[in-house]
Amino acid sequence: MPARDAPERPGAGVSETWEGVATAPFDRDLELAVIEGNTIHKLVFPCRRILGGWMKAGTIDRILVQPTHWRAWVK
């Protein structure tokens, strides 16, 4: 059994690999990251791509980030 605070693992068919932000889909919750040097800074809430930017998936509030990578959000 995993530790209580262990991060959740992706489900079947979900990739752990980060993808370039240019390929991010518009129709699903995503985990976003900004990579600076050798450090990955992940956002702690699901986001959705919208025309001209990004929004928080749960609140539809627009967020002002310039992510470099994305992957599927795993609950």
pLDDT of residue 30: 97
Residue-by-residue DSSP string for 32-64? EEEEETTEEEE-SS-EEEETTEEEETTT--EE-
- Distance between CA atoms of residues 15 and 65, nearest Å: 23
pLDDT of residue 15: 62
Task: Give the global pTM.
Answer: 0.74
User: pLDDT digit string (tens) for 36-66?
Assistant: 888 889 999 999 999 999 999 989 899 998 9
| Residue 54 CB neighbours (<10 A) | 22
Which tokens in the block code for residue 18? 């980060």
| Residue 67 CB neighbours (<10 A) | 22
User: pLDDT digit string (tens) for 9-43?
Assistant: 444 445 678 999 999 999 899 999 998 888 889 99
Read off the pLDDT band of 3 (50, 70, 90).
very low
